[in-house]
Amino acid sequence: MRVLIPVLLMSTLVLSGCGGWSDSRANPKNWFGRSTSEVIVATDPGAGQDVEYNPLIENTERSALIRKNKTTIQKSGLLRRRDKVVAYEGTLVDQITDLNVEPTPTGAIVRVTGLPSREGAFDVRLLRENEDGPVDGVMTYTLNAYQPIQTRRGSERTRSVRAGDFLSNDELARTTTIRVQGARNVRTTQR
């Protein structure tokens, strides 16, 4: 009994000293904080005034990104010839509602939730803008999906879509900010 009470007192003191670990910057779960959202407002250089973004007008930078992201489709059958390469033509999701970075032993998973303008979005992809890794510490993504035009608007719950990407420890070491762009807003999270 003499040894048990001092051991219990010492263990409570040691454990109470560890309470700051959850808020520490050394804790990997705190590397990327809460994400913040910014509204995208495109400006017309000739007029000098703010103009809303119109997703029906083709953006030349966006079409270059579509050309970079290609998907390989294999024909099945006995006499199949070559693999067919098709460009992914998904469009930007209307809003980015959530951005989380979840650490793993070999890197981190970037998980994004978006809100298309209508129900029925499919083949959702989180595409990297910069293929070679972060540029000046910023890793930039776009959230894209095939979005039908003639479906009903529906509630936010029925329109919500999710996608993710994996960042290795090497990429994380060079990354200070993760930025995900939608059609109407940009969500960022920083270390």
Pairing of strands 95-104, 84-87: unpaired
Output the CA torsion 89→93→99→103 (10° steps): -20
Residue 2 lies inside a defined structural domain of this protein: no
Among the listed residues 73, 67, 121, the one whose alpha carbon sits nearest the alpha carbon of residue 89: 67
In the numeric block, which tokens belong to residue 44?
A: 């017309």
Per-residue confidence (pLDDT) for residue 180, from 0 to 100: 93
Q: What is the pLDDT of residues 171-189, one digit of tens each?
A: 988 999 999 999 899 999 9
82 falls within a domain? no
Cβ-based neighbour number of residue 108 at 10 Å: 22
Q: Is 123 helix (H, G, I), strand (E, B) or coil?
A: strand
Output the pLDDT for position 29: 61
Span 107-166, pLDDT tens digits: 999 999 999 988 989 889 999 988 888 889 999 999 999 888 888 888 888 899 999 999
Here the tokens at position 155 are: 């509630």
| In-domain check, residue 4 | no
Q: Give the range of the structural domain holding residue 43, as residue numbers without chain letter.
A: 27-48+89-190
Helices assigned H by DSSP within 20-96: 60-68
Task: Report yes or no on 105 lying in a domain.
Answer: yes
Query: How far is it, in rounded angstroms, from Cα 59 to Cα 93?
Result: 15
- Number of domains forming the structure of the chain: 1
Q: What is the pLDDT of residues 44-86, one digit of tens each?
A: 444 444 445 555 555 555 444 444 555 555 555 556 666 666 7
β-strand partners of 135: 138
pLDDT number for residue 150: 84
Contacts of 60 (CB under 8 A, 6+ apart): none
**Within a 10 A sphere around the Cβ of 65, how many other Cβ atoms?**
16
The tens digit of pLDDT for each residue in 2-50 reads: 788 888 888 877 766 666 656 665 666 666 666 777 777 765 444 444 4
Distance CA 124, CA 185 (A): 17
Residue 19 lies in a domain: no
Closest to 90 (Cα-Cα) out of 70, 72, 73, 75: 70
In this prediction the pTM is: 0.65
Q: What is the pLDDT of residue 67?
A: 45
